[in-house]
Amino acid sequence: MVAKKISGRGRPRKFDLDRAVATAKELFHQRGYDSVGVAELSQVMGITAPSLYAAFGSKSQLFERVLQDYVRTDGGWLPAAIAQAETVEGSISCLFECAAEAYSANPLQLGCLVLDGTRNCTDERVCQRSAEFRQATRDLIRERIATEFPEQAEMLANYVFTILMGLSAAARDRRPKAELLSTARIAAAGFSAHIQDGHPQSVNRT
Amino acid sequence: MVAKKISGRGRPRKFDLDRAVATAKELFHQRGYDSVGVAELSQVMGITAPSLYAAFGSKSQLFERVLQDYVRTDGGWLPAAIAQAETVEGSISCLFECAAEAYSANPLQLGCLVLDGTRNCTDERVCQRSAEFRQATRDLIRERIATEFPEQAEMLANYVFTILMGLSAAARDRRPKAELLSTARIAAAGFSAHIQDGHPQSVNRT
DNA sequence: TCAATTATCTATCGACTACTATAAAAATAA
DNA sequence: TTATTTTTATAGTAGTCGATAGATAATTGA
């Protein structure tokens, strides 16, 4: 990662890097990686294309910074949600409801950037990098579940993550928040039923 | 719909329309609407761009025909699945498992074209048309559920449809079939739990 | 002041996008 | 044959894509 310069020798930059990243984040979140062009990015940032490239290197490197910023700020509710409740059951219930809330909170940034920002993306490396961020979230969920259900953690985490992707897709389809919330509650009840009823062994066979 | 000419007066077309649609379907399903260009479409079809436009009108009109063909053939398992079982519970369970199977059957056409073919698509009309196909499927599911649970049909259909979108997204993320299947079973159990346990809003116990 | 450094701008670059004007080719109807 | 109709291929259109070359402006260190 490039070190941030507090002050340097040359001509000072006339725009704020963090604000530029935030602007790019809004656009990428709104329409996805491929659908946002460098021309629009630089225009909304109030700079020209060469300034954007001098500051970030390329469109994909800018997106990388956007993803990092996204998980640190906008995505902060997720680790908070799964760490809050005392039981795994409570954590997942909270996770689903928080997701329904977060994914539909802003009509201009529906769903999750990590989950849907690179759907049908043509840049293979960008897709892969985005997939790594998804895997990190999946791991986080699995480790939380493993504290109570180590045998079924992988399988249950896959279920939970699939629900999150469904909620994000529904949000991006402009389904209303109330609908996401009711779906989240049913999904949470399904999780609860599965860990309480007669499913003590791993069903997943690789 | 434009009438199909069996034989006409002019120069005969030297390629098969249905095969061309099937080819376009493969490409659109694989990478989404925006990521497939007319140049590639016509090249893989073995024709030139003007022939494609003469036959289909535009890229978006070709996609419309692809969607219709998709729901009639590739998507035929869905109405079959929800009509097969005697109970709604069995139908939904079958629906989820069939979806997990169908969405991961072909490594080159992962997930559902209707659910994910226009994610992050820039053509607003194409997005809307695709959304209409999704709504039709949602209606189909809701009406099936309404035969037993009319009061909760809308809510339950939204849950079911969200699961389908999650499964499609997971498939497109190359999650293995076994994982989709275990997720589908948990989701089906959640559905069952919800219609049997403490949610007897519609008292239609047979 | 003056060199070094960095960011800014204008003006592109080649490759790609969906799409089409034009005319030749290939069939049928008269 | 001749006229009509339709599909074909060639060769483009204007516009957008991500990215950059080159000149200029604005700062710091010496």
Query: How far apart, in whole angstroms, are the C-alpha atoms of residue A138 and residue A130?
Result: 13
Q: According to the model, what pLDDT value does residue A69 have?
A: 98
Query: How far apart, in whole angstroms, are the C-alpha atoms of residue B95 and residue B68?
Result: 20
In percent, the amount of chain A with pLDDT more than 70 equals 92
Reported as a single tens digit per residue, the pLDDT across A123-176 is: 999 999 999 999 999 999 999 999 999 999 999 999 999 999 999 999 999 999
Of the two residues A197 and A109, the one the predictor is more confident about is A109
Quick check: helix, strand or coil at residue A4? Answer: coil
- In this structure, what is the dihedral angle of CA atoms B193, B194, B197, B198, given to the nearest 10 degrees? 160
Contact assessment for residue B95 and residue B81, using Cβ atoms and an 8 Å cutoff = yes
3-state secondary structure chain B: CCCCCCCCCCCCCCCCHHHHHHHHHHHHHHHCCCCCCHHHHHHHHCCCHHHHHHHHCCHHHHHHHHHHHHHHCHHHHHHHHHHHCCCHHHHHHHHHHHHHHHHCCCCCCCCCHHHHCCCCCCCHHHHHHHHHHHHHHHHHHHHHHHCCCCCCHHHHHHHHHHHHHHHHHHHHCCCCHHHHHHHHHHHHHHHHHHHHCCCCCCCCCC
Q: According to the model, what pLDDT value does residue A9 have?
A: 87
CA–C1' distance A54–D22 (Å)? 15
Query: Taking CB atoms and an 8 Å limit, are A32 and B179 in contact across chains?
Result: no
Reported as a single tens digit per residue, the pLDDT across B78-99 is: 999 999 899 999 999 999 999 9
Query: How far apart, in whole angstroms, are the C-alpha atoms of residue A198 and residue B117?
Result: 38
**Pick among B109, B181, B186 to test the A interface (most A CBs inside 10 A):** B186
Structure token digits, residue A151: 């045998």
pLDDT band at A196 (very low <50, low <70, confident <90, very high): confident
pLDDT band at A6 (very low <50, low <70, confident <90, very high): low
- For chain B, how big is the Rg over CA atoms in Å? 20
Sequence length of chain A is 206
Is it the case that residue B204 has pLDDT exceeding 70?
no
Is it the case that residue A206 has pLDDT exceeding 60?
no
List of residues 6+ apart from B69 with CB closer than 8 A: B21, B22, B25
Distance linking the first and last C-alpha atoms of chain B:
44
Task: Give the nucleotide at minimum CA-to-C1' distance from B54.
Answer: D7
CA–C1' distance B177–D21 (Å)? 50
Query: How far apart, in whole angstroms, are the C-alpha atoms of residue B159 and residue B177?
Result: 21
Q: According to the model, what pLDDT value does residue A96 have?
A: 98
Interface subset of B 29-68, CB within 8 angstroms of A: 31-35
Q: What is the pTM of this model?
A: 0.94
What's the longest Cα–Cα distance across chain B?
68
